[in-house]
Structure 1
Amino acid sequence: MHLGYFFELIALAALWGASFLFMRVAVPEFGPIWLIAWRVFLAGLILLPVLMHQGLVGELRKNLKPLFIIGAFNSALPFLAYAYATTILTGGFTSILNATVPLFGVLLVLLGINKEILSWTQIGGFLLGFAGVGILLGWHTSTANPHFWLAVMAGLGAAFLYAVSATYIKRSLVGVSAVVIAAGSQLAAFLLFLPLLPFSVPTAAPSLIAILALIALAVFSTALAYLMYFRLIRILGPARAVTVTYMIPLFAMIWGSLFLHEPITWDMIVGCIVILTGTALANGVFTRWRKKSLATSE
């Protein structure tokens, strides 16, 4: 991998890691529904001119139905779930739950939804990854309350939806431009939120800090991050681009500690290491690196 692309992956992980910080700052004042509605609306508005400049409006119109489905299950619902989770959990903790997305991808294969062949190493990695979730949660059982468990289930549910959405995109949006998928899904998500907005109006006007956090969430952690991610998929391929998932919790914990003074606890560190190791094994990352090293040495 070219060094420049590696630094782009790090920058992307930093942007997505920061999304948990921005949600932690803004969601108490906006509420989950209003925050995510504005997030997807602003991101869609930013991406729409890019789509129009590339002459892809016709492609957008042809794929309205699948884009609405992706808008619901890859943006609206998981974004809302993570926004709710950050009202109770730290940004770093929530980001570790997000790191289970590739594990749920392996689960879909085990359930026969994705037609792939898994090695015993990958299955072992799947089990190890969820053992890491158990470690992360087990240390909280003595002090946990129903709100904690609801937040955890929301985070894991969002990760599962991301995995299901990826499968749907592969099957229903083959050949569709990444910009069309990104812009169309964000705007579709906003339309899905519209009926809920009158019933979830914030009780007070959000502060300037909360508004700036929302803008940063929409511009940098959504619109810009999507453009970078899809560009890296095109250049590096999905297998390498998805490795950004492994770095997101690191940045989420760093941003939370620096700006919100959130604690980085031993259970978070151990759970994160176990989850990411299992995820890497389940997705054959170490196998690919080993094969590449052997090919280079020859």
Structure 2
Amino acid sequence: MRNPPVAAVATVPGISAWRVALELGLLAAIWGVSFMFQRVAAPEFGPAALVELRLGLGALVLMPFLVRAWAAFPLALWPRLAAVGAINSAIPFALFAWAAERAPAGVGAITNAMAVLFTALVAFLFFRERIGPRKSAALLIGFAGVVVLAGDKALGPNVGVAAAAGAFAALLYGVGANLVPRLFGGLPTAAVAAATLGSAALLSLPFAIARWPEASVSAASWGSAIALGVVCTGLAYAMYYRLIQRIGAARAVTVTYLVPVAGVAWAWSLLGEPVTWRMGIACALILGSVALSQKKG
């Protein structure tokens, strides 16, 4: 999962609360299960090959949006799209896949929520946006959650480096969240997603070819990789953008609070991965910090 940046849009009136809740829950479940799919597929594919499949399949699903808006994407725009694709997709996806080889899926799911906080931090450091005492406190609390998670030795000896990789991936999502509206404002967001994913897939292709697995890959890993690209990337982004158009970005971003819980639940129920008290504390700290950062006033 990532937190795709979007411009403010008008909401569609008359959408029932139960339907919104259902769609948000479904999207959280899809993005949450993405970390489990990475945990299954990464050991056999390796990060490079898995990321290439995810990027390519996700771009294919969203390609109709790009084809529809093709005239709005001149040749001069594509170097920027490729750069953002690397920052906002290829490298973070590789970091999460690398982490999934080394630690339980819940570690990636929990650290991913830091993207909301890093978006505010990057806006403050590089774009002179006010961060305020509340968001500053939220950042400190969120970082404390990562430290707690990284220190959970019950999750294996590599949990620290996996948590660091997930946090760095979330930082890159924060950079991308600031760049996309500034570089591509006014363009259809789903078309931008297709363009950045497709560009990132081309950039990642040489690495995937060089690191393509020599041994045969199991059906479970192939199924996980395909589901990761088609469902958790392509279809999930399309669902997210549709939600934004219908209920607005401020409400749609609340899916961030549900993804870590869903990710941990999927990994616990289907992979038998442990749920420790440190994971609970880390999740509470990070999600509490995100809630604090989003509070108005």
Q: Do these two structures clear the TM 0.5 threshold for a shared fold by scoring above it?
A: yes
Residue pair 1:15, 1:225 contacting (<8 A) in 2 also? yes
Q: 1:215 to 1:143 in 2, by over 3 A?
A: closer
Instruction: Classify the secondary structure of the residue corresponding to 2:73.
Output: helix
Distance in 2 of aligned mates of 1:19 and 1:283? 25
Amino acid across the alignment from 1:259 = L
Q: Which residue of 1 aligns with 2:271?
A: 260
Aligned-residue offset at 1:6: 2.0
Residue pair 2:104, 2:155 contacting (<8 A) in 1 also? no
Aligned-residue offset at 1:143: 8.8
Q: TM-score if structure 2 supplies the norm length?
A: 0.89
Distance in 2 of aligned mates of 1:153 and 1:253? 18
Quick check: 1:7 aligned with 2:18? no
Q: Which residue of 2 aligns with 1:172?
A: 183
Amino acid across the alignment from 2:93 = F
Residue 255 of structure 2: which of 231, 244, 249 is its match? 244
Which deviates more, 38-47 or 113-122?
113-122
Distance in 2 of aligned mates of 1:218 and 1:198? 18
Structure showing greater radius of gyration is 1
Amino acid across the alignment from 1:283 = Q
Q: Which residue of 2 aligns with 1:296?
A: none
Quick check: 1:183 aligned with 2:194? yes
Distance in 2 of aligned mates of 1:259 and 1:89? 16
Deviation readout 1:156-190 (Å, 9 max, x if unpaired): 11000000001001210100111211111111111
Residue 57 of structure 1: which of 59, 63, 70 is its match? 70
Q: Which residue of 2 aligns with 1:106?
A: 120
Deviation readout 1:93-128 (Å, 9 max, x if unpaired): 1111111111112222442x2333334223222222
Residue pair 2:151, 2:159 contacting (<8 A) in 1 also? no
Deviation readout 1:216-257 (Å, 9 max, x if unpaired): 111110001110111122222222221111110100011101
Aligned-residue offset at 1:28: 1.1
Which deviates more, 101-110 or 205-214?
101-110
Residue 138 of structure 1: which of 151, 164, 181 is its match? 151
Q: TM-score if structure 1 supplies the norm length?
A: 0.88
Instruction: Classify the secondary structure of the residue corresponding to 1:88.
Output: coil
Distance in 1 of aligned mates of 2:250 and 2:178? 14
Q: 1:97 to 1:163 in 2, by over 3 A?
A: same
- Structure 1: which 5+ residue stretches go unaligned? 289-298
Q: How many residues align?
A: 281
Q: 1:43 to 1:110 in 2, by over 3 A?
A: closer
Residue 49 of structure 2: which of 9, 20, 34 is its match? 34
Instruction: Classify the secondary structure of the residue corresponding to 2:103.
Output: coil
**Aligned sequence identity (%):** 38
Aligned-residue offset at 1:153: 2.1
Amino acid across the alignment from 2:138 = G
Q: Which residue of 1 aligns with 2:8?
A: none
Distance in 2 of aligned mates of 1:44 and 1:109? 27
Q: 1:126 to 1:2 in 2, by over 3 A?
A: farther
Amino acid across the alignment from 1:94 = G
Residue pair 1:60, 1:180 contacting (<8 A) in 2 also? no
Q: Which residue of 1 aligns with 2:61?
A: 46
Amino acid across the alignment from 1:195 = P
Q: 1:233 to 1:115 in 2, by over 3 A?
A: farther
Amino acid across the alignment from 1:129 = G
Distance in 1 of aligned mates of 2:149 and 2:155? 13
CA RMSD of aligned residues (A): 1.9
Residue pair 1:89, 1:151 contacting (<8 A) in 2 also? yes
